[in-house]
Amino acid sequence: MSSSPVLDATHDPRRRSWVPVPPGSDFPIQNLPYGIFRCGGSPPRVGIAIGEFVLDLATLDAAGIFRGTPLDGQPLFERASLNPLLALGGAAWRAARRRISDLLDEASPELQGNERLRDAALVPQASATLMLPVEIGDYTDFYSSREHATNVGVMFRGPDNALMPNWLHLPVGYHGRASSVVVSGTPVRRPCGQTLPDGAAAPAFGPSRQLDFELEVGLFTGPGNALGQPIPLAGAHEAIFGFVLVNDWSARDIQKWEYQPLGPFLAKNFATSISPWVVTLDALLPFRVAGPRQDDPAPLPYLSESEPWSFDIALEVWLKTARMGERARIARSNHRHLYWNVRQQVAHHTVTGCNLRPGDLLASGTISGPTKDSRGSLLELSWRGTEPLALPSGETRTFLEDGDELTITGFAAKDGVRVGFGEVAGTVLPAHP
Ligand code: CA
């Protein structure tokens, strides 16, 4: 069984990099998130965000920077996905973090003083194309926000039956679609499907009229587990490499007609957007907080959590219509509102012996908070379309319209250090005629 992870010099708020990091940047030396990028005609490779640059790990590896570490001698960085790195596990991830943090430390002359290598390895983010960072094997979507589940339950079943009888006993989830997970910036085509219009006796086919976003945070798994071998809760954090922002696009009218009895299918399989930088669990350790109390009812022993494994990550949702000059914030929430934490999700997912593999995506479910402005979907913000959202342009929205750009941002901040995620953005394209 594993012990709780500890902070080290890579988390020291006083540590500074010789690479300039502008105030308010999501990417100081304490963060070091991983991504896959391409530059000019070069093949995709692994990079780390620092300030307004990408640190090219393939170039550093070729120069022998990782010699003597568990990362040496393995083709990890001249790759189009992070999966080989994810498969190595926590000891290698922490060795990489220490090595890269030391290299970027303002007191270290090693890379700073090597002009040729430094210039080759630092690429301005503005000239890099960020790609889907992980080859996602399986995508699971949970439903772990009590406020979200309650809001949806009240709208569809009334306040007396808002939470289903199982909800407080297990992290409800479903197996989603991995092939349509796309990186931030990818446009999203409005889906067509079957709906049952109010009062109609038979379904109709056509473009969804209730296209929605869902504010979520997803985790990427590391080495995983052998089939038949559950991951116990006490060590479940070691199965997690890092986190991205997730927009789980949802067609509410399609969902309403199709979802019984097996849950959402086409309403959510057309696109799921993620942010390009994977913020590691190690980088988020200083921001751990206790989640909501779980004593009424207490979970079964295999889900019983005694450590603080929620994260204080501020989350914001921004909308920009085709007529707006700049985006407007329409919601603010926080990862800490989740009722079921990431260790409980991993333990529950694998308790049957289901095997997680390197690069599986486990999303949190919509993260709504206790206040009206912390609701993580338009379904809730507009209360099923009955309370249209007023925008600064004078327009209103109940659900997304063609040309709308939806952006989610997120960051954790403490002791003057901001560990951010960047953003996940997507613009709605009209349905195919
Ligand atoms: Ca979802």
Q: What pLDDT digit, counting tens, does each position of 243-259 carry?
A: 999 999 999 999 999 99
CA of 143 from ligand 1 middle (Å) equals: 7
The CA 122 to ligand 1 mean position distance, Å, reads: 36
Q: Specify the pLDDT at position 27.
A: 98
Which residues on adjacent β-strands are paired with residue 274? 183, 246
pLDDT at 74: 86
- The Cα 409–Cα 249 span in angstroms is 16
Distance CA 372, CA 159 (A): 16
Rounded to 5°, angle at Cα 175 from 174 and 180: 125
- At 317, give phi and psi (nearest 5°): -120, 135
Q: Rounded to two decimals, what is the model's pTM?
A: 0.98
Query: Other CB atoms closer than 10 Å to residue 172's CB: what's the count?
Result: 18
The token duo for 286 is 């200083």
Instruction: Kindly state the helix (H) or strand (E) to which residue 255 belongs, with its residue range.
Output: helix 252-258
Q: How far is the CA of 364 from the centre of ligand 1 (A)?
A: 8
Q: How far apart are CA 274 and CA 432, in angstroms?
A: 23
Q: How far apart are CA 269 and CA 138, in angstroms?
A: 13
The CATH architecture one would assign to domain 139-429 is Alpha-Beta Complex (3.90)
Name residue, tokens 């399989």. 269
Residues 6+ apart with CB under 8 A from 42: none
83: closest CA among 239, 219, 220, 186? 220
Question: Which CATH class name applies to 9-131?
Answer: mainly beta
Centre of ligand 1 from the C-alpha of residue 321, in Å: 23
Span 33-66, pLDDT tens digits? 999 999 988 899 999 999 999 999 999 999 999 9
> What string of DSSP letters covers 15-80?
--BSS---TT-S--TTT--EEEEE-TTPPPEEEEEETTEEEEHHHHHHTTTTTTSTTTTS--SSSS
Task: State the Rg of the chain over Cα.
Answer: 22
Are 373 and 329 a contacting pair, CB within 8 Å? no
Instruction: Report residues near ion ligand 1: CB below 5 Å.
Output: 141, 214, 248
Give the phi and the psi of residue 396 in degrees, each rounded to 5: -125, 160
Residue 38: the pLDDT is 97
Whole-number Å distance, alpha carbon 142 to ligand 1 midpoint, is 7
Place of tokens 């709906």: 195
Pick the closest to residue 219 from 172, 291, 279, 303 (CA basis).
279
Q: Are 288 and 310 in contact (CB under 8 A)?
A: yes
DSSP state of 430: P
Q: CA–CA distance from 72 to each of 51, 104, 109, 168 (Å)?
A: 26, 19, 21, 46
Q: Which residues contact 251 (CB under 8 A, 6 or more apart)?
A: 191, 193, 208, 210, 211, 212, 266, 267, 268, 270
Are 244 and 279 contacting, i.e. CB atoms less than 8 angstroms apart?
yes
Of residues 163, 269, 141, the one with CA closest to residue 217: 141
| Residues involved in catalysis | 148
CA of 116 to the centre of ligand 1 (A): 46
Residue with tokens 């439903």: 143
Helix, strand, coil abundance in the chain, percent, nearest 5 = 25, 25, 50
- The reported pLDDT for the residue numbered 3 is 62
Separation of CA 178 and ligand 1 centre (Å): 13
69 Cα: distance to centroid of ligand 1 (angstroms): 39
DSSP 337-370: G-SS-HHHHHHHHHTT-PPP-TT-EEE------S
As a whole number of angstroms, the distance between CA 78 and CA 101 comes to 20
- Separation CA 191–CA 250 (nearest Å): 9
Question: Strand, coil or helix: what is 192?
Answer: strand
Residues in the chain, pLDDT under 50: 1
- Give me ligand 1 centre to Cα 249, in Å: 8
What residue segments make up the domains of the chain, in order of their start? 9-131, 139-429
d(CA 315, CA 297): 28
Specify the amino acid at residue 428.
Answer: V
Which CA distances in Å does 112 have to 28, 39, 104, 256, 433? 16, 22, 8, 57, 55
Token pair in block for residue 178: 């991995």
